[in-house]
A and B are shown apart, each in its own frame.
Chain A
């Protein structure tokens, strides 16, 4: 037999053996895949943002398929359409998704507050925070090196004049920024909320005045004037009870520092 023929034959034989082994393996070692899982997973957007509280879309789909999770409206990034699709696939009643946006509880940009020290380390809020709390005059506010912007999967955060601004249109409310912010001043709030407090400084009035031009001076005027009694002062900051709030806007209009934002909260 010619050497060419032997080579071709042996190579084909090896290929055939490999193919046979693989076919047999896939026949006898097949793992039954849960039918629900791929169907649910196909409904989810695949952003893997973690807003549902699971490790990515696979995690949420797995929990739904295994029956550990019953809420079909946890995908905030996907919104109503995804919730509807998931509810249909699961055969459960549709529940509306509460639409949320991230909100920065600080407005101390470089026009309103100053730096206390000049920080020359790595451009990261977490690094700046390690060094005496923060390099800003206000220990509580936005440090402005953009740790939140770097983790945002939608590029919805811009650092403008040394403070994080959230683009409400791009923000899908996954809360990655809120988990990253070393100051803990980013919060994910439902879009329907009418009022929000744009300061996180727990100091008393005079100290706040020194540090920032737009800080809450804890005058308690909002708490006194609120007709619904929805505002209480906690640690020198107003806390709004959104169940009681009627959205009248009185607090925003009486606030001397314009710290409480009403309506379009930006």
Chain B
């Protein structure tokens, strides 16, 4: 139980994919302009990461390891995740229409999100079991959502500021992202003290 809690805490705070490991920067910068789209994107990422963690863990353990193909994990996981996201989109459209309306636009964007791939690869390299993998995926998604929503607030404030012309737009946004990321460096080391 402690290990599961520790994984969750690490993924949300100390090992946050966006702000500490610098993955998924593209959606982080692209979708953080509006609060509503932040919520939709976070929901979709949490959903896909949890599902992808479970499915890839099963495929890795029961197909790839017995055949000695563990060195192919990257390419197979990309394939599986892409197919999975497409399938989920079709499934939601048919059976869970409200959820599709809320997440539908964001699902195709996640197909090639590097953070989703990173979660599945990390699950393997850390030798997590099925439950731990799912928790890892879920909390990595929550961490992504946290970073996105926090940064959305920062961007709201940025819109009011008037940076010099050469800094306006993406440059000042990247600087703000770096500063937001530095705040998360403060969590380093907390996890060991809390759960160690």
A31 touches B94 (CB 8 A): yes
Chain B minimum-CB-distance residue to A150: B159
CB pair A18 B91 closer than 8 Å: no
Q: For chain A, residues 6 to 29, give those with C-beta under 8 angstroms from any C-beta of chain B.
A: 6-7, 10-11, 14-15, 18-19, 21-22, 25-26, 29
Contact of B80 among A10, A14, A19, A122 (CB under 8 A): A14
**A123 located at the interface, meaning its Cβ lies under 8 Å from any Cβ of chain B in the complex:** yes
Given contacts A7-B69, A7-B72, whether A31 and B80 have CB atoms under 8 Å apart is: no
Instruction: From known contacts A7-B69, A123-B160, infer whether A14 and B79 are also in contact, taking CB-CB under 8 Å.
Output: yes
Query: Could you say which of A14, A21, A26, A124 has the most chain B C-beta atoms within 10 Å of its C-beta?
Result: A14
Determine the chain A residues whose CB is within 8 A of the CB of B75 once the complex forms.
11
CA of A226 to CA of B169, assembled, Å: 53
State whether A25 touches B87 (Cβ < 8 A): yes
Q: Is the CB–CB distance between B160 and A29 below 8 Å?
A: no
Q: Is the CB of A11 within 8 A of B76?
A: yes
Whether the Cβ atoms of A11 and B72 lie closer than 8 Å is yes
Select one of A14, A19, A25 contacting B91, CB under 8 A: A25
**Alpha-carbon distance between A45 and B68 when the two chains are bound, in angstroms:** 55
Choice from B69, B79, B87 contacting A6 with Cβ under 8 Å: B69
Pick the contact of A22: B76, B86, B93 (CB < 8 A).
B86
Q: Is B122 an interface residue (CB 8 A)?
A: no
Please tell me if the beta carbons of A29 and B94 are within 8 angstroms of each other in the complex: yes
State which size class the interface on A falls in: 10 to 19
Which residues of the partner chain A approach B95 to less than 8 Å between Cβ atoms? 29
Whether B182 sits at the interface, judged by CB under 8 Å, is no
Interface size on B, residues (CB 8 A): 20
Q: Mark B71-105, 1 if CB is under 8 A from A, else 0.
A: 01001100110110011001101110000000000
Taking a contact as CB atoms under 8 Å apart, the answer to whether A22 and B160 are in contact is no
> Is B67 close to A, CB under 8 A?
yes
Of A7, A11, A14, A21, the residue contacting B87 (CB under 8 A) is A21
List chain B residues, Cβ under 8 A from A6: 67-69
Q: Which residues of B contact A123 (CB under 8 A)?
A: 160
Identify the closest chain B residue to A6 (Cβ).
B67
| Closest Cβ neighbor of B71 among chain A residues | A7
Residues of A within 8 A of B79 (CB): 11, 14-15, 18
Binary interface profile of A, 26-56, with partner B (CB < 8 Å = 1, else 0)? 1001110000000000000000000000000
Cβ of B69 and Cβ of A22 under 8 Å apart?
no
CB distance from A154 to the nearest CB of B (A): 19
Q: Which residue of B lies closest to A29 (CB)?
A: B94
Separation of A119 and B82 alpha carbons in the complex (Å): 53
28 intermolecular pairs with C-beta atoms under 8 Å apart: A6-B67, A6-B68, A6-B69, A7-B69, A7-B72, A10-B63, A10-B67, A10-B72, A11-B75, A11-B76, A11-B79, A14-B63, A14-B79, A18-B79, A19-B83, A21-B83, A21-B87, A22-B83, A22-B87, A22-B90, A25-B87, A25-B91, A29-B93, A29-B94, A29-B95, A31-B93, A122-B160, A124-B160
Chain B interface residues (CB < 8 Å from chain A): 59, 63, 67-69, 72, 75-76, 79-80, 82-83, 86-87, 90-91, 93-95, 160
With A10-B63, A25-B90, A123-B160 given, name 14 new contacts (CB 8 A): A3-B68, A7-B72, A10-B67, A10-B69, A14-B59, A14-B63, A15-B79, A18-B80, A22-B90, A25-B87, A25-B91, A29-B94, A31-B93, A124-B160
Report the 8 A-B pairs with minimum CB-CB distance, sorted nearest first. A18-B83, A29-B94, A25-B90, A29-B90, A31-B93, A25-B87, A22-B86, A31-B94
